[in-house]
Structure 1
Amino acid sequence: MDDLIVTENVCKFYQLGDNEVIALDQVNIKIQKGEFVAIVGSSGSGKSTLMNVLGCLDTPTSGRYFLEGIDIGTQSEDALSEIRNKKIGFIFQSFNLVPNLTAIENVELPLIYRGVKRSSRRELSKQALTHVGLEQRLNHLPSQMSGGQQQRVAIARAIAARPPIILADEPTGNLDKKSGVDVMDILLDLNKEGKTIILITHDTEIAHLANRQIQMSDGKIVL
């Protein structure tokens, strides 16, 4: 297997008033193509900051991050935007659906930003919603769906453009147990299809479903 993601001594500092907060402290990880990795830790452990760095949403204060051999620190904002658009699908705890758009319109939205033509994006969106079992809910608004169904729309939105990497930040955090299991089953199926899944979670039971766990505490990798 190939190393898809490599971090070398990645640090991230924030200045809060007179205090310097160390969010990431000398983080070294390798994630191979096709892995399902859970990054585990309590609130404030640095796991979400690490996800932001891995997703090219934020840059390290020091250290280096390589994605598919590309040194992310040397890339322009436009290049980083292109990487996020083509390489990475994001799933968040809060769903982040647009309330006045239907399921299929929510899934289509990032495809519009990617410049996908209308006929193609409609088909890609239908396929993604079918993939997560919502082919009967294409024209439902978020308010007409359960939390679990809304998260499945969010997953469909993340996979519609068929990115090779899925970053999921606490995707089961707002769901009941059954809906959480359903979401994890979808992520496991996506991994079997070859997607690299990086899951951020504080739930050790959920984390054990991944192939490998990376434990964080106080900005450091501890396991």
Structure 2
Amino acid sequence: MSNHLIEVKNVYKIYNPGENEVRALDGISVTIDHGEFVAIVGHSGSGKSTFMNMLGCLDTPTSGDYYLDGVNVAGMTDDELSDIRNKQIGFIFQGFNLIPSLTAQENVELPLVYRGMPAEQRRQLAEEALTRVGMEHRMNHRPSELSGGQQQRVAIARAIAARPPIIMADEPTGNLDTRSGEEVMKILHELNEEGRTIVLITHDNDIARQATRAIRIIDGKVVSDTLASELQKHDV
């Protein structure tokens, strides 16, 4: 029995099998342990976002095995994957993905609604999460009334409200100014210090170096797996 939180074994994701096939993931094998802060680094088109979709149970591999907390999720149905995502993974996206017509609090509560959580418990968890990211004074504001940095903090609150053990962050600073980006990275570090496992997808070495470990992907293959501090600055 594996003690790894995440264990990916010889995973392929192949589009258009045959003569013009594209190997978005080309035989990747990786392990990530509980409580790690790992950056997945690569250019646009390297396969890093496909890999995050796989790790986040948003997609399944063409072949290979993916063990999440000891359970092979590679062959699960969409409903089973949805259940795992709901319980174990919080997502933070570059584009925030907030619903414009909902307030910050309602946006944070939405995934909890899908879990069938009672209203009072939803409200309490949403308020706690928004306070946690410094947005307690903006709970009743809609996304259009918030800056990009504030919207991303609401998105982080939404990701952490149900207290999932894993946070997947896909270019979470990509649409932000430098100061807002630094605030987002600070929150991710604090979550990691509290025991959450953080998987950060980025094309930017300066962001990746703030993780503990960096896995570089080129053309769907892992080409290096090092301490993040060993990455060269600006060498993307």
Same fold, TM-score > 0.5, yes or no? yes
Residue 197 of structure 1 aligns to a residue whose secondary structure is: strand
- 1:5 maps to 6
Q: 1:13-64: per-residue Cα shift (whole Å, max 9, x none)?
A: 1129962111000100000000000000000000000000001110000111
Residue 44 of structure 2 aligns to a residue whose secondary structure is: coil
TM-score (norm 1): 0.97
Distance 1:134 1:92 in 2: 18
Contact kept? 2:9, 2:64, Cα under 8 Å: yes
Match runs of 1:1-223 below 5 Å: 2-15=3-16, 19-223=20-224
Q: 1:94-153: per-residue Cα shift (whole Å, max 9, x none)?
A: 000000111000000111011111000000000000000001000011111100000000
Distance 1:114 1:186 in 2: 25
In the TM superposition, residue 172 of structure 1 has moved relative to its aligned partner by: 0.3
* Matched AA of 1:14: Y
Residue 175 of structure 2 aligns to a residue whose secondary structure is: coil
In the TM superposition, residue 78 of structure 1 has moved relative to its aligned partner by: 2.3
Contact kept? 2:3, 2:70, Cα under 8 Å: no
Residue identity over aligned pairs, in percent, reads 65
Distance 1:180 1:9 in 2: 34
Distance 2:179 2:130 in 1: 19
Distance 2:77 2:18 in 1: 29
C-alpha RMSD of the superposition: 1.4
- Highest RCO, 1 vs 2 (Cα 8 Å, sep ≥ 6): 1
* Matched AA of 2:72: D
Residue 3 of structure 1 aligns to a residue whose secondary structure is: coil
Distance 2:131 2:38 in 1: 25
* Matched AA of 2:108: V
**Aligned pairs, number:** 223
Runs of 4+ deviating beyond 4 Å: none
TM-score (norm 2): 0.92
* Matched AA of 1:66: Y
* Matched AA of 1:220: K
Distance 1:2 1:60 in 2: 22
In structure 2, runs of 5+ residues without a counterpart are 225-236
Distance 2:116 2:18 in 1: 42
